[in-house]
Every structure is written in C-alpha cells, then in structure tokens.
Amino acid sequence: MFILHKLLLEWVHCSAVLCCYLCVWPIYTLISCSCQDGKDHSCGLLEWVGEPVTFRRAETIAGKYGVWMKDPQPVPPYTRETTWRVDTVGTDVRQVFEYDSAEQFEKGHPSKVHVLARPMESTGAVVYRGALYFQRHKSRTLVKYDLQAEAVAVQKELPSAGYHGQFPYSWGGYTDIDLAVDEVGLWAIYSTALARGAIMLSKLDPETLEVERTWETNIRKQSVANAFMICGSLYTVSSYSSPEATVNYIYRTSTGTSAPLSLRFENRYGYSSMVDYNPAERKLFAWDNFNMVAYDVKLSGV
C-alpha cells in the first residue's frame, strides 16, 4: 500500500517520469515503458559520453569552481529553460544566480540573485521540483531552499556524513557531500567514518530530507574525481584533470554490485569541479576550470 501511495504521488508530480521509476526497480524491470508525452523516458545503463559543449565562462576568480543546473521537474513560474549558477570559490558562498532562459544564461544576464542566509559548501547542489538543495557550510546539514518563496523549507542532518574535507573527491574542494537527481529521485553521495572513505549512497525524501534507504559501495570516494546518478545507478569519473579521463565505475542499487567501466570522459579545460546528470535534458552538466559545459550521453536500449 505504501509503495502504491508513493507511486501515485510520483504520478501527480510528473507522469512522464513514472515509467522510469517503474523500470529502475528490479520488480518492475520487465515492464516496458511508454510515456504520455511521447518522449523516450526509458532507463538504461550509460554506454557513451559525448564531447563537452561550452555554454559559458565565469568572469572572475570566484568562478574557477562552481555548479550550474536546470530543474528536471520544474514547477511554475520556472521552466525547463530556467538555469541556476553558483560560483563556489571562497568561504562565504551565498549567491545563487537565476536566469530565465538559456540565452540569458549564456549572455550572463541573471533575472534574480538569491542571497542565502547561511553559506553553502561543496559543488554538490541540485535544483529539483522548484527547490535548491545544498550542503550548509562546515556542516553535514542538508538544506532545502524554496526558490520561489526565497526561504529555507527544510533542514536536516545527513547522519554520520563526513564534511569539510573528511571525505572529498580527489580534487578536494570540500566536496564531501554531493547531491544528485536522476529518473528515480534525489540522492546524496558521501562517506562516513564507519565506511572508512567508501562511497555511501542514500536515497532522500525530497519533501523531508529523510534518508529512505542507504547503500554502501566498495568505491573509495577520494580515489575518484566526481560521481553522478543515472536511472538508479552511481557512476564515477576517474580524473578531474586528464583530457582522457573515463567514467570508471558503476554501482547498481538494483543489485548492490559494482563493476569497472571505461567510457571516455574529456576534461577539456583541465579542472572539473562538478559533474552531474540531468534526467530531463539527458545530459551531464559540468564545471570545468571556469567553464560551464554539458555532455550528451547514450543509455543502452534507449
């Protein structure tokens, strides 16, 4: 009954995503997907990453690292075009730039600048269903910030999560807690003292930030440059600087197993501080040494 209730909620939020939700979980893997909007939302495994396409270059040193994103399930007044950007160099990262369209983003003309009451840490922020989710500075507290109300909606600690340099990705940058959104929902990628640096993966309730379920992988967080989720599987990137890096591991939550991969991933500008998947765009968004870039992807069977 609980599962049925959850699925109905998903349906209300976005019927197009429901088929992916069904496809990801093992019990439903034999169901074929067809969507009301005619688009292909079926799920699969990552099998190819394209070349990076550059959309914008940061103007100041504060933009050497950063995070940019679109909402895969926007709610009015926002659209699939609305874009957000945060330059994350420094200890007082509070400004969130909002752009009405891709064109305004590329021109560098924000429609609004949100100023957070307390600063954020890491490059792991995401926007999902009208809210910005981020890790609060020097803390394991996750914050859900309602973008339209311009107010914090929920704050909650991610239990036992390392923060502020305990378990960052290989490039550092206090990237201890990395949030991600895929076809299934909202996730946190992190580690704990008990896991001794292995990547922990938690599925979060986007309404309450409660942990719904957690998986412990055998991938050391500090040995990889970044990670992202696609269709309920975790993928890691081998290097933040090499022009010939790879997507080098997959961890599947459906089976609880990991496997090595070797899919080409180009760090064109030599310093990727953020890599994230957008399930609506079917692209990886990344921030590479002042540059905001995106990569097309191909999934198996899609």
Residues in contact with Ca ion by the rule CB under 5 A: 178, 226, 228, 276
User: Among residues 22 and 237, whose Cβ is nearest to Ca ion?
Assistant: 237
Integer CA distances (angstroms), 298 to 50, 122, 225, in order: 8, 28, 21
What is the closest distance, in whole angstroms, from the C-beta atom of residue 122 to Ca ion in the complex? Answer: 9
Beta carbons within 10 angstroms of residue 112's beta carbon:
12
What is the closest distance, in whole angstroms, from the C-beta atom of residue 218 to Ca ion in the complex? Answer: 19
User: Among residues 98 and 276, whose Cβ is nearest to Ca ion?
Assistant: 276
Read off the DSSP letter of residue 169.
Answer: B
The tokens describing 214, both together, are 């957690």
User: Among residues 42 and 226, whose Cβ is nearest to Ca ion?
Assistant: 226
What is the closest distance, in whole angstroms, from the C-beta atom of residue 199 to Ca ion in the complex? Answer: 11
What is the closest distance, in whole angstroms, from the C-beta atom of residue 80 to Ca ion in the complex? Answer: 20
Q: How far apart are CA 234 and CA 199, in angstroms?
A: 10
What is the closest distance, in whole angstroms, from the C-beta atom of residue 26 to Ca ion in the complex? Answer: 25
User: Please, what is the angle between helix 2-13 and helix 15-24, to 10°?
Assistant: 140
Q: Are 280 and 79 in contact (CB under 8 A)?
A: no
Q: Are 137 and 153 in contact (CB under 8 A)?
A: no
User: Among residues 72 and 110, whose Cβ is nearest to Ca ion?
Assistant: 72
Q: Are 240 and 171 in contact (CB under 8 A)?
A: yes
User: Among residues 171 and 228, whose Cβ is nearest to Ca ion?
Assistant: 228
Q: Are 49 and 247 in contact (CB under 8 A)?
A: yes
